[in-house]
Amino acid sequence: MQQASQLVQHAIRNHNSCPPIRHGSQPRQENMFRNSLAAAALALAASSACAGPTGLYAGVNAGATHFSDLDGNKSHFGAFAGYGFNQSLAFEAGYRQHGEWHYYGTGVKLKETQFSMVGSTPLSRNLDLFARVGYGYGRFEADRAGYPGGGHVDTGIFGVGLGYHVMGNLSARVELQKPGSDITSATASLLWKF
């Protein structure tokens, strides 16, 4: 916003200080003024373009997760909440429940908690590109012929995605995450900014 107001002030100063040249159909002064106003309007549009949400927001997500050593893709669902410090940087915390995989006759379920920083940059008025880096805590539950077991794993979370401002406070996202070297998740989310 600051850059746009400086461009407008510059355009007004240039309009008042340029002597008119009377050659051609329009004076040079008017052309310079129009060009300056057009540049100011473009700068204003670019500075107000959509990026990540600011303030408090929350959402739900669903998608598919693939473990390279387990049988196929399984669906997952979850919820998250975050706080946008500005349109470029936010903190998010989330919980995700995964489907059940089978590993040599053992049923394996995963519940995951994530904490991450999300950086965003606008691509257009309603579309932004974001990247995520953070920490994930996964709790495994295993069951083999009625004998329960389990464990946990700590991982780094890395992701990249696109966000689209649908209307008002509602946005949608698609994201590809790599929470471990053998895990890949594709997720679609709906996000509401409070």
pLDDT in tens, 160-180: 999 999 998 999 999 999 877
% of the chain at pLDDT higher than 70:
73
Query: Per-residue pLDDT for 5 more than 50?
Result: no
How far is residue 155 from each of residues 32, 112, 140, 141, measured CA to CA in Å? 57, 10, 13, 17
Query: Per-residue pLDDT for 71 more than 50?
Result: yes
Query: Per-residue pLDDT for 9 more than 70?
Result: no
Query: Per-residue pLDDT for 11 more than 80?
Result: no
Note whether 166 and 189 are within 8 A (CB). Answer: no
pTM, to two decimals: 0.69
Q: What is the DSSP letter of 20?
A: P
Query: Per-residue pLDDT for 79 more than 60?
Result: yes
Q: What is the DSSP letter of 135?
A: E
Convert the pLDDT of each residue in 136-154 to its tens digit.
Answer: 998 888 888 778 888 888 8
Q: What is the three-class DSSP state of 145?
A: coil
Element (H, E) at 74: strand 73-84
Element (H, E) at 189: strand 183-193
Which amino acid does the sequence have at 51?
A
Instruction: Report the C-alpha gap between 113 and 153 in whole angstroms.
Output: 11
